């Protein structure tokens, strides 16, 4: 079936193609085209199933009305929720979103930026992996609107929206201590990322503050790429070989889910045998009995602020990067696991 063109619509409407083009590009009032004629042209375009050539529209307007979203893992609850809020937000503003995952693979992340550049997206919302700094720097040098989320590069002065990871973990570990726990494990991944470093630094900081033991023997680091079955097995062995532990702090929600399976295999009861706090919430944490205490990230605030910061970069006068940087406070959600 032949694709409907602007000339086809013009013929049906009894006007020249340039009039159709002006109407479909939202310039009817500017060019003093009557509302009646504009509505007639739009109706014909809809009835005939006209689809605009997006590349031509981009060249003509300088805008594709498409934004690129790159996250670590779209299957992760946090990133999926973040993507959903961003998609709803940009749709309400007349934009579409193309989103993809890096799987924390630097090469994949770098390639995704190249692909989105080729697609001529108007702006980038990125949760970068460690090795993507040069590509992000290039976007900034090219004057491409870009906002980093969840993590950033201290070496680059660009827009970002982050969670205060340090204060979040401080709240969680402090709560465990106040509830009487003295031997607190920390279960994390091996990612060399600033947000993970901040979380572990806060864990150590609170234990030192209360003169409690903190040693590598209390910390379990799992490879990011580890399969779930192997992760559960390693956690089970770690907890079984450390009977002195009375609490555990999980640095991510997916590690917390693995931990719950491990605790079940050991036959432990929460919080009698082991108290639990996890960074980031999960539907499972709310449904369990007892519920799992967590550090909840303000997903909606992160998403809407990131979109706002990105759109501000579309203005003729762009605010300096320092005005487009924000640290959001997470919340301690107390449930029955402590």
For position 135, which CATH number holds? 3.40.50.2300
Look up the pTM and report it. Answer: 0.80
306, two tokens: 């990131």
Position 52 scores a pLDDT of 67
User: What is the per-residue pLDDT for 127?
Assistant: 96
Instruction: Say how many domains are in the chain.
Output: 3
Which range marks the domain in which residue 203 is found?
165-296
Q: Which of 280, 313, 300 is nearest to 86 (CA)?
A: 300
Q: How many Å apart are CA 65 and CA 95, to the nearest integer?
A: 5
Residue 231: the pLDDT is: 97
Predicted confidence at residue 63, as pLDDT, reads 64
**The pLDDT value given to residue 26:** 75
Mean pLDDT, contiguous 10-residue spans, the chain (338 residues): 81 90 81 90 86 55 80 91 95 91 94 91 95 94 94 94 97 98 97 94 97 93 95 97 96 96 96 97 93 97 96 92 96 97
> Do residues 254 and 304 share a domain?
no
Q: What CATH number is attached to the domain comprising 30?
A: 1.10.260.40
Judging by beta carbons within 10 Å of its beta carbon (0-12, 13-18, 19+), is residue 81 exposed, middle or buried? middle
Residue 334 domain-assigned (yes or no): no
- 148 and 177 in a single domain? The answer is no
State residue 4 phi and psi, 5-degree precision: -70, 135
E strand or H helix at 277? strand 275-279
Has residue 57 been placed in a domain? no
CA distance 271 to 305: 37
Instruction: Specify if 333 maps to a domain.
Output: no
Same domain (yes/no): 252, 318:
no
């Amino acid at each position: 079936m032949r694709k409907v063109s602007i000339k086809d619509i013009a013929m049906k409407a009894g006007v020249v193609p340039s009039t159709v083009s002006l109407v479909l590009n939202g310039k009817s009032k500017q060019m003093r085209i009557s509302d009646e004629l504009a509505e007639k042209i739009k109706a014909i375009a809809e009835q005939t199933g006209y689809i605009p050539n997006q590349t031509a529209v981009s060249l003509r307007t300088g805008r594709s009305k498409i934004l690129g979203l790159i996250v670590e893992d779209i299957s992760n609850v946090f990133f999926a929720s973040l993507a959903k809020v961003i998609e709803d937000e940009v749709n309400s503003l007349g934009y579409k979103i193309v989103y993809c995952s890096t799987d924390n693979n630097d090469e994949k992340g770098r390639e995704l930026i190249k692909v989105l550049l080729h697609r001529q997206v108007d702006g980038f919302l990125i949760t970068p992996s460690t090795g993507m700094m040069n590509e992000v720097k290039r976007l900034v040098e090219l004057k491409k609107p870009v906002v980093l989320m969840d993590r950033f590069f201290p070496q680059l002065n660009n827009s970002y929206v982050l969670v205060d990871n340090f204060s979040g973990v401080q709240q969680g570990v402090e709560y465990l201590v106040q509830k009487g726990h003295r031997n607190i494990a920390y279960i994390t991944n091996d990612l060399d990322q600033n947000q993970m470093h901040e979380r572990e630094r806060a864990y150590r900081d609170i234990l030192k503050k209360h003169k409690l033991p903190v040693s590598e023997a209390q910390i379990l680091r799992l490879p990011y790429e580890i399969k779930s079955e192997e992760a559960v097995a390693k956690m089970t062995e770690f907890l079984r070989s450390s009977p002195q532990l009375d609490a555990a702090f999980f640095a991510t929600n997916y590690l917390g889910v693995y931990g719950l399976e491990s605790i079940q295999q050991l036959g432990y009861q929460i919080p009698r045998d082991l108290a639990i706090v996890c960074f980031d919430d999960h539907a499972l944490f709310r449904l369990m009995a007892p519920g799992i205490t967590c550090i909840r990230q303000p997903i909606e605030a992160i998403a809407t602020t990131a979109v706002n910061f990105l759109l501000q970069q579309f203005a003729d006068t762009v605010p300096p990067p320092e005005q487009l940087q924000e640290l959001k406070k997470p919340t301690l959600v107390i449930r029955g696991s402590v």
